[in-house]
Structure 1
């Protein structure tokens, strides 16, 4: 199945400036990469005016809705009953956004309808990936 889930959300960029600001974001899930979710932000959300994209574990997002998760470049934690914080670390700095928890749950439910938790391995194309690696070698 090659269905891709794209889910638009409104994120609130948490800034040290006087006011936070709303930015659109796009969540994406592809069964071809079953363990990962992606989030992208438009150029207006970045300091250098470029699109910003992050990929991280679907399980990190799911567990971060309940309890603080992550120790690397992406960290997720609940911020009250209605919001979830996603924190992104890059060499240029740190960005934090808040997203409505219900939107994140909806996105995850759609992804689990395509690829249930624990069944991700059945969606990996190991032969195709290995063949691609060998062609590049």
Structure 2
């Protein structure tokens, strides 16, 4: 199994909520943890100090912070082409602008955000220093877990 020197990284940025007549700046953080190598967390309302070493990760506060879980591949693809279905969609702006649009849908409503493609790209490059694209399964240790299960090393009390 591959060893990774750091466990994660964080990029604090500002998403712009696109409204009917104005845009609203929303502090946010992109959070990556190599223990969950396929995922990126988007934490809205996160305006804390920049902690890019990823050694600590606090859940969103009880003060209204919201978190969405996105696929790292979805973010990567969304930099250059429209991607996503259902609740999460991502696409680049036309005309070579450094803008990516993120649309999030929930039962309570939907939101359209504009964010910097360069920030997302830099963040993704940093995540790939931790876990290169295509090696996510190695980081999960799936083979080790499967071997343990086949050897009978399971926490299942029924023994099945």
TM-score normalised by the chain length of structure 1: 0.84
Q: Identify the residue that residue 51 of structure 1 maps to in structure 2.
A: 65
Q: Which runs of 5+ in 1 are unaligned?
A: 44-48
* Equivalent in 128, 135, 140 of residue 112 of structure 1: 128
More strand by share: 1
Q: Identify the residue that residue 38 of structure 1 maps to in structure 2.
A: 41
Q: Identify the residue that residue 64 of structure 1 maps to in structure 2.
A: 78
Q: Which runs of 5+ in 2 are unaligned?
A: 47-62
Shift of 1:134: 3.7
More helix by share: 1
8 Å Cα contact 1:84-1:98 kept in structure 2: yes
Q: Distance in 1 between matches of 2:98 and 2:65?
A: 27
Paired residue total: 129
Q: Are residues 1:8 and 2:12 paired?
A: yes
Q: Distance in 2 between matches of 1:74 and 1:101?
A: 17
Judged with a 3 Å threshold, the aligned counterparts in structure 2 of structure 1 residues 79 and 133 are, in CA distance, closer, same or farther, namely farther
Q: Are residues 1:92 and 2:108 paired?
A: yes
Hey, which bits of structure 1, 4+ residues long, moved more than 2 A?
125-128, 130-135
Q: Are residues 1:122 and 2:138 paired?
A: yes
8 Å Cα contact 1:32-1:125 kept in structure 2: no
Q: Are residues 1:74 and 2:74 paired?
A: no
Shift of 1:72: 2.1
Shift of 1:125: 4.0
Q: Distance in 2 between matches of 1:123 and 1:72?
A: 28
* Larger-gyration structure (1/2): 2
Judged with a 3 Å threshold, the aligned counterparts in structure 2 of structure 1 residues 51 and 112 are, in CA distance, closer, same or farther, namely same
